[in-house]
Structure 1
């Protein structure tokens, strides 16, 4: 039961992050300026989802269309959406905080992919070390993002309001 509860909480957190990325992006200018980027990301994501699902289906304990399989697929789709949307968010805004948010997303998403390899392919200790390292670096970038957002440069409108 703890497995399902924890995964559902993580899924909700990723959905909240996706909403954060898309809430201040206007669709028309985005499609006009980044049409090719979006197409490439869609193709890339489809391929990654296919590969991840192949890895998951190699696990004898998980049957297709079971609750475990659906949770894993949803989880994988959401982490790839977070990665893609963080890139689009950075390209759309091109700010230093956006870069930190994108780098954090890259590290966290790749740590999740390494964890999938650890759980479903090989339980090598090196994969666990890589997972933990990427997650720590990702949280460092999140810390830098939060620090920049909470301490705007002197002379900026946000700093003058303080």
Structure 2
């Protein structure tokens, strides 16, 4: 919906007051945040957090440190280029939700270790890389190759999300693994 909104607003006559573009920016990002939050909720429902907290402590610590560092780097890039303080908050929330999605998808893959969770993780990874490249395109250098890579990764993410949606999510069984002595 956000991309369709962007296409429609780009086709409209130029607005001197920029209100139409502000509307598209806030509503579009809110729609993306909502869609990522729904995906986070869907992943969270299938995770056993007791298992994650017991067995994946080191993974959680490393992911938390990496997320904090990535949020700091993205904030350092984006913050000097925002006009309003609300823009900075929106970008921070957007990046936080995106990195949470990636972390939960990775934890889900560690927990489930199946093809469906792998596709979900690869899709989330493509989305995050797409957004990071998009930040570089918007705030650092507007090169066509960056825009092309960002779009290609976003389309790849939807391909992986589609592929994982066709698969069933089998429960992780401890009996699936055999120890060879």
Q: Shorter-chain TM-score category?
A: 0.7 to 0.9
Indicate the SS of the match to 1:136.
helix
The residue aligned with 2:149 is 130
Question: Whose Rg is larger?
Answer: 2
- Structure 2 CA distance, aligned partners of 1:49 and 1:139? 24
Match of 1:46 among 68, 90, 115: 68
The residue aligned with 1:142 is 161
Query: 1:137: Cα distance to partner?
Result: 1.3
Query: 1:133: Cα distance to partner?
Result: 1.1
Which range moved further: 15-24 or 67-76?
15-24
> Are the counterparts in 2 of residues 107 and 137 from structure 1 also a CA contact under 8 Å?
yes
Unaligned ranges ≥5, structure 2? 1-22, 171-181
Q: Which TM-score applies when normalising by structure 1?
A: 0.86
Query: Is the counterpart of residue 69 in structure 1 residue 111 in structure 2?
Result: no
Query: Is the counterpart of residue 111 in structure 1 residue 133 in structure 2?
Result: no
> Are the counterparts in 2 of residues 11 and 75 from structure 1 also a CA contact under 8 Å?
yes
Match of 2:41 among 11, 19, 37: 19
Q: Which TM-score applies when normalising by structure 2?
A: 0.78
The residue aligned with 2:29 is 7
Indicate the SS of the match to 2:166.
helix
- Structure 1 CA distance, aligned partners of 2:165 and 2:111? 19
- Structure 2 CA distance, aligned partners of 1:121 and 1:146? 35
Residues 63-102 of structure 1 mapped to structure 2, 5 A cutoff:
63=84, 66-102=85-121
Query: 1:58: Cα distance to partner?
Result: 2.8
Query: 1:24: Cα distance to partner?
Result: 2.2
After superposition, the C-alpha distances for 1:86-123 in whole angstroms (9 at most, x for unaligned) are 00011111111110011111001110111011111111
After superposition, the C-alpha distances for 1:108-162 in whole angstroms (9 at most, x for unaligned) are 1110111011111111111001101111211111121122249x9xxxxxxxxxx
Unaligned ranges ≥5, structure 1? 153-162
CA RMSD of aligned residues (A): 1.6
